[in-house]
Amino acid sequence: MSGIVDKFGKAVYSLLQKDPEKARCLLSLGFRAKRLEYMYFPGKMNKASRMAASCTSRSMIDALTHPGDSAIVSLFTPSEILHSVGITPYSCEGLGCFLSGAFLERPFLEYAEREGISDTFCSYHKTFIGAAEEKLLPKPLFIISTSLACDANALTFRRLSNHFDVPHFVIDVPYEISEDSVSFVESEMRMMKKFVEENTKRKVDDELLSQILARSQRSMDYYERYLTLSKGKSIMRDLNDGMFACFMLHNLLGTRESEEYARKCVDVAEKASPSSAVNLLWIHSTPFWMENVRAITDFNENVAVVGCDMAYEGLLKADCSNPYRAMAERLVYSAFNGPVMRRIERGINEARRLGADGAVWFCHWGCKHTLGGATLAKRKFEEAGIPLLILPGDGCDRRHGGYGQVETRLGAFVEMLSERRGS
- The site for another protein (CB under 8 A) is made up of 106, 110, 113-118, 120-122, 147, 150-152, 154-155, 158-159, 170, 172, 174-176, 180, 184, 187-188, 339-341, 363, 365-369, 371-376, 390, 392, 398-405
Return the number of the residue (21 or 110) whose C-beta is nearest another protein: 110
Return the number of the residue (355 or 392) whose C-beta is nearest another protein: 392
Decide if 251 contacts 71 (C-beta within 8 A): no
Decide if 290 contacts 403 (C-beta within 8 A): yes
Decide if 306 contacts 342 (C-beta within 8 A): no
Q: Name the residue among 333, 59, 327 with its Cα closest to residue 171.
A: 327
Closest approach, Cβ 17 to another protein, in A, equals: 12
Q: Name the residue among 51, 52, 5, 53 with its Cα closest to residue 30.
A: 5
Closest approach, Cβ 149 to another protein, in A, equals: 8
Closest approach, Cβ 147 to another protein, in A, equals: 5
Coil/strand/helix, residue 307: strand
* Single-letter residue type at 327: M
Backbone angles phi, psi at 94, to 5 degrees: -65, -55
Closest approach, Cβ 113 to another protein, in A, equals: 5
Helices and strands in the chain, H and E counts = 18, 10
**Residues forming beta bridges with residue 85, ordered by sequence position:** none
Closest approach, Cβ 363 to another protein, in A, equals: 7
Closest approach, Cβ 7 to another protein, in A, equals: 11
Closest approach, Cβ 39 to another protein, in A, equals: 31
Say how many C-beta atoms besides its own lie within 10 A of residue 180's C-beta.
10
Return the number of the residue (358 or 366) whose C-beta is nearest another protein: 366
Return the number of the residue (112 or 248) whose C-beta is nearest another protein: 112
Return the number of the residue (21 or 115) whose C-beta is nearest another protein: 115
| HEC readout, 143-211 | EEEECCCCCHHHHHHHHHHHHHCCCEEEECCCCCCCHHHHHHHHHHHHHHHHHHHHHHCCCCCHHHHHH
Return the number of the residue (14 or 405) whose C-beta is nearest another protein: 405
Coil/strand/helix, residue 106: helix
Return the number of the residue (228 or 408) whose C-beta is nearest another protein: 408
